[in-house]
Structure 1
């Protein structure tokens, strides 16, 4: 039986209340506390000892990313899910490198959030598809620290994430248990955390993932802001000729 101890940091009082109600409605979920900001709460968190924290990044005062950095330094055993509206690359990777175990965008379905907590609790790193795409593009632009290459399985998983597949679909395709896929995604997170800063980026995606020419073309369109609808129209035009 799952017995998950949770703390929430969210400055929107209505959202904070709804999140608490949602999580406490789940069997085995216990919300120990909710906080409207991260200012001065670390001593309280250390006394509560939650297993998982849901942290808004756009907090007043100390930012969510600053709090994640402090919390992971003093309480490395705690898993932290970033819960935010921010989907820009800089925020995503700063949060991951600060120590976020997962990155979930606000506005997701309630069940997605419940699934994210369960995934973290069982050793995974939940990541929404939109953010997953930013992870794979990060490997296009960054040189891995100490030249840590991706495993064959990680390469396959990144390719499938890029195409919008879920961890369950990837597990079915690779004929492995879903926990194995979740573990591989967690390893990818760790490698992102080990990367250098953007101005030192030099490594090509060709050194990390073997993609077809069409996949590279699609990745390039995504990188330049093309939507799924735009890309489908381009592909249909190319096929018609």
Structure 2
């Protein structure tokens, strides 16, 4: 039996929260453990319920989603958060990713994409909708680009697997190396690309032609 993924919903519209809970309840491995309608309440309740994944809207009263995300990550750097919002402007996406979001989905996304994003992020991966990734790639493209320290062939292999949303354990098994070695490579990749998290690393690498977002 698969592990239950405990999910917290943060959105200022009760109808949206209730609808999401109904949709997520169709999956046997999902459990909604709490809801909140504003940023401050989200921070308080997440600390109490300790969910595995937080679905967080950007526009909320008292404290917006990005600031809420920053505070959640400050309290727990391992907090796994997916921005689930109607806003798809470049600046919103970039700000959320820089704040530490592991996923960014638009509210019009198919259920299958939402379910997959939750499972990928729960396992330690990062996932952006293709349309969001495209916008982020365009936003970070600011020529002339500063030279990057060259990635090794193995680091490029690991980076391509990150783009597929694989977690360290899965990458280790696929490349026949230890999980500790994968962590070492990921750390080196972030440093060489001058980024703060895996999502940014994948986006920058794809924009510079180092990897393909579709896995080819």
Structure 2 length as normaliser, TM-score? 0.69
Larger Rg, first or second structure (1 or 2): 1
Structure 1 193/92 Cα, relative in aligned 2: closer, same or farther at 3 Å?
farther
Contact 1:57 1:63 in 2 (8 A): yes
Cα RMSD between the aligned structures?
3.8
Q: Distance in 2 between matches of 1:27 and 1:139?
A: 38
Match of 1:12 in 2: 13
Match of 1:115 in 2: 116
Q: Does 1:103 align with 2:104?
A: yes
Q: Aligned with 2:84: secondary structure?
A: strand
The structure richer in helix per residue is: 1
Deviation per CA, 1:155-206, whole angstroms, max 9, x where unpaired? Answer: 8789xx8xxxxx49xxxxxxx96xxxxx9xx9889968539xxxxxxxx99x
Q: Aligned with 1:57: secondary structure?
A: coil
Q: Distance in 2 between matches of 1:192 and 1:59?
A: 31
Q: Does 1:75 align with 2:95?
A: no
Contact 1:104 1:127 in 2 (8 A): yes
Match of 2:130 in 1: 129
Contact 1:23 1:29 in 2 (8 A): yes
Q: Does 1:208 align with 2:204?
A: no
Match of 2:58 in 1: 57
Match of 1:180 in 2: none
Shift of 1:142: 7.2
Structure 1, unpaired ranges of 5+? 162-166, 169-175, 178-182, 196-203, 212-241
Q: Distance in 1 between matches of 2:144 and 2:70?
A: 23
Shift of 1:141: 1.6
Q: Aligned with 2:87: secondary structure?
A: coil
Q: Aligned with 1:31: secondary structure?
A: strand
Contact 1:96 1:192 in 2 (8 A): no
Q: Distance in 2 between matches of 1:132 and 1:189?
A: 18
Structure 1 210/76 Cα, relative in aligned 2: closer, same or farther at 3 Å?
closer
Q: Aligned with 2:55: secondary structure?
A: strand
Q: Aligned with 2:134: secondary structure?
A: helix
Shift of 1:39: 2.3
4+ residue runs of structure 1 moved beyond 4 angstroms? 142-151, 153-158, 186-193
Q: Does 1:89 align with 2:101?
A: no
